[in-house]
Amino acid sequence: MDTLWAPWRSSYVNAIGKSEENPEDKECVFCSAPNAARDIDRYIIHRGKMAFVILNLYPYSNGHLLVIPYQHVSDLSQLDSETHHEIMDLLVKGQAVLQQVYNPQGINIGANLGAAAGAGIDQHLHFHILPRWIADVNFMTAIGKTRVIPESLEESWEKIRAAW
C-alpha cells in the first residue's frame, strides 16, 4: 500500500537492496530504540521497568503506538509474569491516552506473532494500539491504495507524550 505523505520513509526506501549485510547481524531496531539520547529521537512515549511505548515509524493512522518489552523475544511464553502485567498496563494506559488525544470511535490492539501472521519485525515481540474511525478506510485506501496520514510523527509524539 502506498502512503500519500511520509517523508520519514525516504531513508528506508532508498536503502532497500543496497546492503549486503546479513539481517541476522543487524541490531534489532526495538532493542536499539531505548538507547536514544533523547526520547524524541526515537519517538519514545514512555519508558517502563520491563517495557516501553513508542510511536510506529510507519503508522496506519495517527497515534499508532507500539508496546515493546525490553527483552528480545519473539513469543509471549518467553516473558515472565511481571513483564506480562506491565505490558497489559501499558496497553490499557495507551488506549486511554489515545482516547483522550484523538477521540477515536474505536481502537485496535493486537500482536502479530511470526512473519506468517504479518509481523514486520518477527524477532522482537511487540503490540500495536491503533486509533480507528468509522470510514477511516475510505476511497483513498480502498481504491487508490494510498493511506493519508495528516499529522507528522513529531506532532503525534508531542500530543501523546503530553497526555501520557
The SS3 of residue 159 is: helix
Would you say residue 22 lies in a domain?
no
Q: Would you say residue 14 has pLDDT above 90?
A: no
Catalytic residue, chosen from 84, 85, 124, 126, is 126
Is 154 a member of any domain? yes
The string of pLDDT tens digits covering residues 101-125 is: 999 999 999 999 988 888 888 999 9
d(Cα 28, Cα 23) in Å, to the nearest integer? 9
Is 115 contained in some domain? yes
Domains: count for the chain: 1
What residue numbers bound the domain in which 74 lies? 27-163
Q: What CATH number corresponds to the domain at position 36? A: 3.30.428.10
Answer yes or no: is 102 within a domain.
Answer: yes
55, 45 contact by CB (below 8 A): yes
Contact 101, 160 (CB under 8 A): yes
Determine, yes or no, domain membership for 150: yes
132-154 pLDDT, tens digit each: 988 776 555 555 566 677 788 99
Q: Residue 98 domain-assigned?
A: yes
Does residue 69 surpass a pLDDT of 80? yes
Residue 79 lies in a domain: yes
Give 99's pLDDT tier (boundaries 50, 70, 90): very high
pLDDT at 16: 45
Q: Name the residue among 126, 108, 130, 3 with its Cα closest to residue 63.
A: 130
Tell me the whole-structure pTM to 2 decimals. Answer: 0.82
Q: Please tell me what DSSP assigns to residue 74.
A: S
pLDDT at 48 over 60: yes
Q: What is the pLDDT, as a whole number, of residue 42?
A: 96
Give which of 49, 52, 26 is closest to 39, Cα–Cα.
52
**Catalytic residue status for 124:** no
Residue 88: inside a domain: yes
Residues 6+ apart with CB under 8 A from 41: none
